[in-house]
Amino acid sequence: MLDKGYSRQQLAIIYGVGVSTIYRYFPASKKS
């Protein structure tokens, strides 16, 4: 979903997970 323009913060809100969890699955080095 990151490739659709959602920020990690938005995904965290959508899925109800912590931003740190988002970064664990989508490392910062993997920027769109």
Radius of gyration of the chain (CA): 9
pTM comes to 0.33
- Strands in the chain per DSSP E: none
- pLDDT band at residue 31, thresholds of 50, 70 and 90? low
Looking at residue 1, its pLDDT comes to: 59
Secondary structure percentages of the chain, helix, strand, coil, to 5 = 55, 0, 45
Looking at residue 25, its pLDDT comes to: 77
- pLDDT band at residue 2, thresholds of 50, 70 and 90? low
Centre a 10 Å sphere on the Cβ of residue 12 and count the other Cβ atoms it contains.
17
* Domain range summary for the chain, segments of one domain joined by +: 1-32
Q: How far is CA 3 from CA 11, 24, 29, in A?
A: 12, 17, 14
- pLDDT band at residue 30, thresholds of 50, 70 and 90? low
